[in-house]
Amino acid sequence: MQLYSTRTQEKEQVHLDRQIGIYCCGITPYDTTHLGHAFTFLHVDVLARLLRRLGAKVTYVQNLTDVDDDLLKKARELGTGYKELAFSQTERFLADLHAINISEPDRYVQATDHIPEMVALIRSLLDA
């Protein structure tokens, strides 16, 4: 089996005896999830399940953009904090995935957990 690697920009042979990492861009939790979200996460779930079924050790990671202009705007419109909105919409998202039997990733990475790294990256780009 071959899969396209965004890291190398090429199709690569899948080696089931090696650790396989899958990353999928997750939601910005400011509003109700929709079928487009389900479509994306269903495909990734099927791939991860297939690879695991074939014996691969898979680590599936998905981000949550829990701070964003859209999220801040929606929170202001609703008169709530952006963290509260992100939390409540994330809970709804997870319930939706569960309802249609889509497996959760092994790990979620929240944008707010990596702000210092983002600032450092932006500074390095500005200094270049």
Task: Please give the DSSP secondary-structure letter assigned to residue 18.
Answer: S
CA distance 53 to 38: 22
**Which is more confidently placed, 78 or 7?**
78
The pTM score is 0.85
Angle at 103 between CA 5 and CA 84, to 5 degrees: 100
Q: Specify the amino acid at residue 76.
A: R
Residue 50: domain span: 2-127
pLDDT at 128 over 90: no
User: How many CB atoms are located within 10 Å of the residue 122 CB?
Assistant: 10
Report the number of distinct structural domains present in the chain: 1
Q: pLDDT tens, 7-38? A: 899 999 999 999 999 999 999 999 998 999 99
| Domain CATH for 26 | 3.40.50.620
pLDDT at 116 over 90: yes
